[in-house]
Structure 1
Amino acid sequence: MDWKRGAYPEFEIEDVVVVLFLLKTPKGRKQISEELNLGEGTVRTLLKKLSSIGLVESQQKGHSLSEKGAEVVKEISRLFSEPLEATPLDGFVTYALVVKNPPEFKSIELRDEAIRFFARGAMILVVQDNEIIFPEDRRPLKETLPKLSEDLKKLPIENGDLVIVTWADTKADALKSLIHVALTLKGELLPEEIKKLVE
């Protein structure tokens, strides 16, 4: 049995953020449960908590963001972008996002954070002169991974941004490890009501 699917309604801040992004389009509880590899009881608890602070509405067709929820997602998007599914790397599910105004960071530490959070691998890139490059040697990504480089152009990138790419066995692990790295950099700037959900 998958250890993550216990009867305990446990979720982490990463789950909360991923659910908020997912609910930009209405989704049913079962769908959220499958996409995030969380038990349905956990998803029920998480949705109930989001609903109690007015961020999520439930209708017949599923759960979606309320107006307030959409505002909160906009606020989060000023810190980092919504995850974008990219071309699989090494056959693994791959996602990427942009971190705006990143603080000082060490690529190796951020990669370790992603792997600690079940990613198979991670890439930390920066945007310079409108090019996505490897910070260590300033090599443009398009020279080694042209397809990924093309995908990442769909992200709202600007000079000075940090681009994080993670890949994992499942969509849930790829997404959560990606959000985890973004939160390592920007977590304390999340809206207070979101942080309170997991205290």
Structure 2
Amino acid sequence: MTRRYDPERRDRIIDAAIDCIAEDGVAGTSHRKVAARAGVPLGSMTYHFENMDDLLVEAFTRFAASIGDAFERRLAAARDRDAAVEAIVALIHGDLQRSRREHVLTYELYTLAARRAAFRSITHRWMRESRRALERHFAPDTARALDAYVEGAALHIALHPDPQPPALTRAAVARLASGG
């Protein structure tokens, strides 16, 4: 019996897990659903991942990295503090509002992180990388406050029926950035 060479199988499984979580939440995601979505035999799940938590950690790590990369790109492109403020507003109203899918993934990760250390390490890394990107333009304490504001404002904009306009966000970010 020959084994089929499939070097992308593990990545397909992780991507399928992300899709399942986005559609059905963590509670509705199973090895069987992920394997079917990835088009792989069910046995591949335990070959590549020790258990469901192992798969979820990989899936959320990939997701968090994709959001972190967008954050890093925006802030790296900012040439001065004013441009950094505009980059933060664009992150909050643009990048972090791209889709309901990303909102669901973010909040599913936050829920797991509130309960379990393995997932908290993902959110801690995400926050550390966000603050590092912000520290290109702001002092560490200011970067920390801005990072918290980004998370909270993005959540409010995503869930509120009458979300705050960019001008209000810009004013709040500018106040935080100036230390006032």
**Structure with greater helix share of residues:** 2
TM-score by shorter chain over 0.5: no
Under a length normalisation based on structure 2, what TM-score does the superposition of the two structures give? 0.30
Which structure: greater strand fraction? 1
Larger radius of gyration between Structure 1 and Structure 2: 2
